[in-house]
Amino acid sequence: MSKYLVIESRDPFDSADVQNLYDLAGGLADQADELTVYLVQNGVLPTRRGSAAAKQLTTLAKTATVLADDFSLRERGIRENDLAGGVEVSGVDALVDLITDEGRKVLWH
């Protein structure tokens, strides 16, 4: 059973590498038994419904769990009802649980 956690902290509008991570996550979602994408810091910016990357996150959420850090959302003025479809709000405690889950491979970008 393969389990992955992909953590993104950068804004895709600032860094072209974020698109590569989204592409990697999409590929992993097709092959892994379990994939979670955790968005933190500026990584939560594309979670706004209607943003350029929101559609991609909604598509990814169909095959993976997509979580957005609650503190990062509050810091950037993004409310839960403004999130793209499939994106869930999560606290850092869930991130710690995922990181320490035995057998889970973690990719932090």
pLDDT at 24: 84
Q: How confident is the model over 30-64, as pLDDT tens digits?
A: 887 899 999 999 999 999 998 888 888 999 999 99
What is the average pLDDT score of the chain?
91
Check whether 88 has a pLDDT greater than 80: yes
Percent of the chain having pLDDT more than 90?
67
Domain locations in the chain?
3-108
Contacts of 55-62 spanning 24+ positions with Cβ under 8 A: 55/84, 56/22, 57/22, 57/84, 57/86, 57/87, 58/84, 58/85, 58/86, 58/87, 59/26, 60/22, 60/25, 60/26, 60/29, 60/86, 61/85, 61/86, 61/87, 62/86
Mean per-residue pLDDT, 63-88? 96
- Check: CATH 3.40.50.720 for 3-108? no
